[in-house]
C-alpha cells in the first residue's frame, strides 16, 4: 500500500495547485456584513469555552478532583475504622446504675 500513498501524494499535489489559483476578489458588501455580524451579542457555547480553556486544563482539573475525592474517601474510611474503638472505651468507662 506504499504505492497508494505515493499516488495519493501526486494526486493531492495536483489538487493543491488549484487552491492556490483564482481566489476571488472581496465580494461586494462583505466588509459591511462582517462588521455588522461581529457587533451582535455573542454567547459562548460550551464548545468555545472548552476550546478556550484547553483540553489539558480540563484534564488537569479532573485529575485534581479525583485526587481530592481519594483523600476525602481515605479520611472517611479511617474515621470509620477508629469509631468502634472509641465507642468501646466509652461504654467500658460508664458506671453501672
The C-alpha cell at 64 is: 485534581
For another protein, give the closer residue by CB, 22 or 95.
22
Q: Which residues contribute to the site for another protein (CB under 8 A)?
A: 1, 3-5, 7-21, 23-24, 26-27, 30-31, 33-35, 37-38, 42, 47, 51-52, 54
Pick between residue 37 and residue 95 the one whose CB is nearest to another protein.
Answer: 37
Shortest CB 60 distance to another protein, Å: 15
Instruction: Give a three-class secondary structure readout of 43-61.
Output: CCCHHHHHHHHCHHHHHHH
Is there a contact between 58 and 50 (Cβ–Cβ < 8 Å)? yes
CB of 28 to another protein, least distance (A): 11
Amino acid at each position: 500500500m506504499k504505492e497508494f500513498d505515493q499516488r495519493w501524494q501526486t494526486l493531492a499535489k495536483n489538487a493543491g495547485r488549484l487552491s492556490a489559483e483564482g481566489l476571488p476578489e472581496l465580494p461586494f458588501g462583505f466588509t459591511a456584513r462582517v462588521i455588522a455580524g461581529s457587533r451582535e451579542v455573542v454567547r459562548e457555547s460550551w464548545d468555545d469555552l472548552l476550546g478556550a480553556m484547553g483540553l489539558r486544563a480540563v484534564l488537569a482539573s479532573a485529575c485534581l478532583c479525583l485526587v481530592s475525592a481519594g483523600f476525602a474517601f481515605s479520611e472517611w474510611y479511617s474515621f470509620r475504622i477508629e469509631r468502634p474503638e472509641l465507642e468501646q472505651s466509652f461504654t467500658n468507662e460508664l458506671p453501672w446504675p
